[in-house]
Amino acid sequence: MQAPVLSGPQYLREGLKLVLSPNLRLFVLLPLAVNVLLFGGLIYFAGHQFSLWVDALMPTLPSWLSFLTYILWPLFVALVVLMVFFTFTLFANIIAAPFNGFLAEKVEVVVRGEDTFPAFSWGELAAMVPRTFSREMRKLGYFLPRAIGLFILSFIPVVNVVAAPLWLVFGIWMMAIQYIDYPADNNKMSWQDMLAWLRSKRWQSLGFGGITYLALLIPGVNVLMMPAAVAGATLFWVRENGNARGVKATNQTT
C-alpha cells in the first residue's frame, strides 16, 4: 500500500497529464496566461529588491562573530525566497481564482467519467467570480494573521533563525488549502468543513502541498504547475473523498 504522504506526487503528476490533454487545454490557457504575466512581473520586481530585503532581515553581528555571516546569509536568502514566493503565489491565485475554479469544475467532470464535456461559456465563468472571490478573501483572512506573526518573528534576533523552516511548513499547508479548496468550494463544502476534511487527511494533504510547493519554486516550470496543481487537487478531492459516483479508470488519465 502506498504511504499517504507519497500520494501527493502521484496526484500532481496525473494533474499535469490531465491539463495537457486535448479536452482541457482550452480551460488551461486563461490561467496560464495570467500566471505568465504575474510571474514575469515578480521576477522583474524581485530582481531589483532581493538584496535589499536580505540585508534588512540579516541581524547585525559584533565583529568577533562576523564569521557567522557566511553561515546565516544562505538561511536568510532562503527566508526571503520563501516569503516572496509564497506571498506572491497566494495573491496570484486570488486573481486567477475564477479561472482555477472553472478548471477544477471541468477536471472533475472528466475524472468522474462523464461522456459529454460542456462548451466554454463566458457567462458561466463570470458567474463564478463573486463566489470564488469571496472564498479567496476567506483564505486571505486565514493566511494574513499567521503570515504577519511569522514576518514579525523574522525580525527578532536569534529567534528568527527558525523563521525559514516555519515559513516552509506553513507554506506547504497553505498550498494544500489553496488548491484543494477549489473542488471543495465547487461541491459547496463550507470553509470550516474543508479545513476539518484536510486535517482528517493531514499526511495526504501535506504530501500534496509539499510537492506542489516544490514544483512551484522552479522558475518557468511553475507557470504550468499552477493549473496542474488545480487538476491534481481535484483528483485528490474525488479519490480521497470516497464519493460514491464512479471515477474514470486511472489508465485513461495516465
Pick from 160-169, 191-200, 240-249 the range whose average pLDDT is largest: 191-200
pLDDT in tens, 28-47: 887 777 777 777 776 676 66
Cell 499526511 found at? 203
Weakest-pLDDT range from 52-56, 130-134, 181-185: 52-56
pLDDT of residue 64: 59
CA atoms within 13 A on the CB side of 143: 24
pLDDT in tens, 137-150: 898 899 889 988 98
Mean pLDDT of 109-125: 65
* CB proximity list for 136: less than 8 A, separation 6 or greater: 93, 94, 97
pLDDT of residue 4: 61
Q: Is the pLDDT of residue 21 over 70?
A: yes
Q: Is the pLDDT of residue 60 over 70?
A: no
Cβ–Cβ contacts within 10 Å for residue 123, how many? 6
Q: Are 101 and 128 in contact (CB under 8 A)?
A: yes
Confidence of residue 110 (pLDDT cuts 50, 70, 90): confident
- The C-alpha atoms of residue 195 and residue 180 are separated, in whole angstroms, by 10
- The C-alpha atoms of residue 249 and residue 254 are separated, in whole angstroms, by 9
pLDDT in tens, 86-109: 667 777 777 778 888 888 988 988
pLDDT of residue 251: 39
